[in-house]
């Protein structure tokens, strides 16, 4: 249905990745604009293998599009548009979605991929993934991995609190962390300068690492589908406001018909003690 809506009504925003799941399966849905008449959009979807975990940051993660794969879906115009725009040729083999519709990364290959690496190294230490890659089109990190151990909801929450702790990129260490080990880094000129995406002539003089628990995160959530329970309570969204590193998660069940007032109102521009977000943000700062 999501793909059909794009095919019919178009897609005009920046590239996006959405995760869709229920009690039985999970899918990755990625979309981009770029049809020949500039009125439509392109999309591709891939099923996450049972027992595996998919990881993405600010970069597409679906690669080869196989028309014969029952676990893949894609826009009806994808191959035609890619060929006519010069993004792909049939003789090259399977269409590489990431390479065809994007520049692969921002100014450097670690804005997104460092986060992908950090999650995968924690999910599957036995794989010994390297944090270093040749470029943003690397295939060093698979679409999904089978964790070395079964994950709990708490494990997934902990992944989002990451500052590359215990690695050579640990943001709580070094002179920039100051005397109190702060993982926060103010945004510099090259920290994901989106106006220069794909510009090979732009010299990059360095950037801070971007962690999962970036200091300007507004909220995060972990959705859980518990098939052994009735739907109204089986589906629960664990919702955390402000930085993942310092938040706590509140369960909101899909069967709820109302929410606390503190979670329904407020602005991040005006301090208000009656707004939940400000309680978390005030403590975090």
Q: How confident is the model at residue 191 (pLDDT cuts 50, 70, 90)?
A: low
Average pLDDT over residues 239-259: 96
Which pLDDT score, from 0 to 100, does residue 202 have?
Answer: 57
Give the closest residue to 159 by CA, choosing from 54, 252, 60: 54
- Which pLDDT does position 206 carry in this prediction? 66
Rounded average pLDDT over 48-68: 97
Strands 95-96 and 64-65: antiparallel
Average pLDDT over residues 175-183: 96
Q: How far apart are CA 71 and CA 61, in angstroms?
A: 15
pLDDT greater than 60 at residue 204: no
Distance CA 208, CA 192 (A): 10
* Mean pLDDT score, 54-68: 96
Q: What is the mean pLDDT of residues 37-64?
A: 93
* pLDDT grade for 108, boundaries at 50, 70 and 90: confident
What pLDDT is stored for residue 174 in this prediction? 95
Strand ranges (E), the chain: 16-21, 26-33, 41-47, 53-54, 64-65, 72-74, 95-96, 144-145, 219-225, 235-241, 250-253
Tens of pLDDT, residue by residue over 142-152, are 999 999 999 99
Number of Cα atoms under 13 Å in the Cβ half of residue 218 = 4
pLDDT at position 12, please? Answer: 85
Res 197 pLDDT > 70: no
Specify the pLDDT at position 201.
61
pLDDT of residue 200: 58
Per-position DSSP letters for 42-57, written without gaps between them: EEEEEEPPTT-EE--S
Return the pLDDT at 223: 97
Antiparallel, parallel or unpaired: β 72-74 and 26-33: unpaired
Question: Where do the structural domains in the chain lie, given as residue ranges?
Answer: 1-102, 219-284
Among 142, 197, 17, 218, residue whose Cα is nearest residue 2? 17
Q: What are phi and psi of 30, to 5 degrees?
A: -120, 140
Q: What is the mean pLDDT of residues 82-103?
A: 94
What number is the average pLDDT over the span 167-193? 87
**Per-residue pLDDT at 207:** 78
Asked whether residue 192 carries a pLDDT value surpassing 70, the answer given is: no
Asked whether residue 156 carries a pLDDT value surpassing 60, the answer given is: yes
């Amino acid at each position: 249905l999501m793909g059909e809506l794009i095919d019919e009504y178009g897609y005009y925003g920046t590239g996006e990745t959405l995760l869709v799941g229920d009690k039985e399966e999970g899918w990755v849905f990625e979309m981009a604009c770029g049809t020949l008449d500039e009125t439509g959009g392109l999309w591709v979807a891939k099923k996450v293998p049972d027992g595996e975990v998919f990881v993405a940051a600010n970069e597409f993660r679906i690669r080869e599009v196989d028309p014969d794969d029952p676990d893949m879906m894609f826009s009806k115009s994808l191959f035609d548009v890619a060929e006519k725009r010069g993004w792909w040729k049939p003789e090259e083999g399977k269409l590489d979605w990431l390479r065809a519709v994007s520049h692969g990364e921002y100014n450097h290959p670690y804005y997104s991929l460092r986060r992908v690496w950090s999650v995968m190294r924690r999910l599957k230490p036995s794989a010994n993934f390297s944090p270093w890659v040749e470029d943003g089109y690397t295939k060093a990190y698979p679409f999904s991995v089978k964790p070395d151990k079964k994950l709990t909801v708490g494990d997934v929450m902990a992944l989002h609190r990451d500052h590359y702790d215990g690695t050579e990129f640990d943001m709580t260490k070094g002179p920039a962390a100051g005397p109190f080990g702060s993982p926060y880094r103010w945004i510099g000129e090259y920290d994901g300068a989106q106006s220069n995406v794909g510009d090979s002539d732009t010299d990059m003089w360095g950037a801070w690492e971007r962690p999962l628990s970036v200091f300007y995160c507004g909220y995060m959530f972990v959705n859980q589908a518990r098939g052994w329970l009735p739907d109204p309570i089986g589906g629960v969204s664990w919702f955390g406001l402000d930085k993942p590193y310092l938040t706590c998660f509140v369960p909101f069940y899909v069967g709820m018909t109302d929410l606390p007032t503190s979670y329904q109102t407020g602005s991040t521009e005006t301090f208000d003690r009656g707004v939940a977000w400000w309680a978390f943000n005030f403590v975090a700062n």
